[in-house]
Chain A
Amino acid sequence: MTLPTETPPPGTSAPEPEAPAAALQISHVSHSYGKRKALDDVSFSVRPASFTVLLGLNGAGKSTLFSLITRLYGVRSGAISIFGWDVSRTPGEALRRLGVVFQARTLDLDLSVEQNLRYHAALHGMGTAETKARSADVLAKVDMLDRVNDKVRALSGGQMRRVEIARALLHRPRMLLLDEATVGLDVKARADILTHVRSLIESEGIGVLWATHLIDEVRDGDDVVVLHRGKLLDKGDVAEVCARAGAPGMGAAFNRLTGVDATEGN
């Protein structure tokens, strides 16, 4: 599943990547909070127009990894690039190709859906006309166009998530990160969100990294990265990971890899 890529050389200007790039490339990334190691030499990549599940229990390091990819934290060890643009050296070029849905809700509850999207568009330097057209487009994609003038506070949890996905797509990213996007949602809302995001791969042609602890969100044919206590245990498509683990399905493979019964409570 990995596509080797070269990151642009360091320099004051942002040079154009020469080689075709992975949508997301994580290379030997480690991160610690004081003495506690949250990520230990993690490497994997996400292909463009593919769905990759980052599978790990709470505390696996998923959110830390997302914070590093989105440059909320600085990468101290290893490298991260988005379509060849190094997040540390050329953050502007890397982040403009990235859409993010964080685990915590990041919408402003007191503003309307349209106002939240307009704010996000401004943060990406999008003009008024482009913002209007694009807002209608992305809200239609997540079936939220009829709620455009509603205050976010009036929306359900699932609707808020859909608005967050629409917002993440507003600036036409080519890579989408979603961190536990279905947490706190009921079964139907979870399925709807997952279906929406999977459909984006075909309609928008973007790469998706879907972080979750819920094994039933993995489908045959997905790429999977298994993360446990900061270490990458395995990566590949579902069949490969299951075969290497000698397990009949992803749930059993995860249990064997981690030594934890993760199907409990799902």
Chain B
Amino acid sequence: MSLVDLSTPTPARGFSLAQYAICLRGVVWREALRFLHQRERFVSALVRPLVWLFIFAAGFRSVLGVSIIPPYDTYVLYDVYITPGLVAMIQLFNGMQSSLSMVYDREMGNMRTLLVSPLPRWYLLTSKLVAGASVSILQVYAFLLIAYFWDIEPPTYWGYLTVLPALILSGLMFGALGMLLSSLIRQLENFAGVMNFVIFPMFFASSALYPLWRVQEGSPGLAFVCELNPFTHAVELIRFAFYGQINALSLAVVLGCTIVFLGAAIVAYDPSRGMLMRREG
């Protein structure tokens, strides 16, 4: 005997804005919870830039001079100079970590929980992106707190606030890049390639460790590559934002790259057009 009245229609209900907000909150909450549970991940996310700051920058402080370039209006110590680069490095690693976790989730099945939600897939992926960026911002502020006791601080305390929009944007850009990569990587084992072909080249071929005018002196070709590198623009966006300024070119590049990477990731995860279905089986 059927307990369901077959004459009962199943009307379309759609989703309210509140339901969209609940979904976003849930995805961010889950990501934060996972992050807090993985204390090793939190510690390693902090140790990496701190090693650069306390050891690398301290060692090179007297070797590498940095001339007065915008946004600085005076000579700055080398460790002050590389701090925005280290902040961007935290976000880059976090974006790649999210990518790694998406590949893992896809292999282990957790990702399916997200993808079979009835809400639109572009919204689910964007929520996941926002969640990852939020976690990266938590990491950045933890790093800046420690750096503060190393006498590295913006010219005014407002700098901690003015840098926030830049952190949101750069966090979204690196997260979107990670998401795109996760759709292209078939197996977890292939992820080591990301380290070699994405993280290291992006970080070293940028203005994170040395100003571009110095690179230009040494290698104009490399300087050109650095200027094309989105990581350079994320670093500069953060550097200027620390000083309450906007680098318009960097803002445009970071914004543009975020849109392109996210759009490509959404296409890649689209069930009818994406890469996933061609890779299974």
Residues of A participating in the B interface, judged by any CB pair closer than 8 Å: 13-18, 20-21, 33-34, 36, 38, 47-50, 64, 67, 70-76, 83-85, 88, 90-98, 100, 102, 104-108, 110-111, 115, 118-127, 174, 201-202, 205-206
Contact = CB atoms under 8 A, between A and B. Distances in A.
Contacts of A105: 108-109
A108 B12 contact: no
B214 interface: no
B178 to A, nearest CB: 19
Contact of B116 (A14, A16, A33, A70): A70
Given A76-B272, A91-B118, A95-B118, A125 B20 contact: yes
Interface in B252-281: 270-274, 276-278, 280-281
B16 interface: yes
A41 B124 CA distance: 31
A242 to B, nearest CB: 23
B47 interface: no
Q: Interface residues of A: mostly helix, strand, loop or mixed?
A: loop
B19 A125 contact: yes
A84 to B, nearest CB: 7
A96 B271 contact: no
Given A73-B276, A119-B27, A125-B18, 14 more contacts: A48-B4, A67-B277, A72-B112, A74-B271, A76-B272, A85-B10, A95-B116, A100-B112, A102-B112, A104-B112, A106-B112, A107-B110, A123-B26, A126-B22
Interface stretch (B32-40, B72-80, B92-100): B32-40
A16 B9 contact: yes
Interface of B: 1-4, 6-16, 18-20, 22-23, 25-27, 29-30, 33-34, 37-38, 108-110, 112-120, 124, 270-274, 276-278, 280-281
A243 B33 CA distance: 55
Nearest to A70: B116
A127 B118 contact: no
B116 A122 contact: no
Contact of A71 (B18, B30, B116): B116
Considering the complex of A and B, which 3 residue pairs feature the smallest CB-CB distances, nearest first? A122-B26, A125-B19, A74-B272
Nearest to A83: B10
Contacts of A125: 15-16, 18-20, 22-23, 119
Contact of B110 (A13, A21, A108, A126): A108
B13 A96 contact: yes
B2 A49 contact: yes
Contacts of B119: 92, 123-125
22 contacts: A49-B3, A70-B112, A70-B115, A70-B116, A71-B115, A88-B272, A93-B10, A93-B12, A95-B116, A104-B108, A105-B108, A108-B110, A111-B33, A118-B26, A119-B26, A122-B25, A122-B30, A123-B119, A124-B23, A125-B16, A205-B2, A206-B4
A205 B20 CA distance: 28
A70 B113 CA distance: 10
A173 B177 CA distance: 35
Given A17-B9, A74-B273, A90-B12, A115 B33 contact: yes
Nearest to A99: B116
Contacts of B16: 125
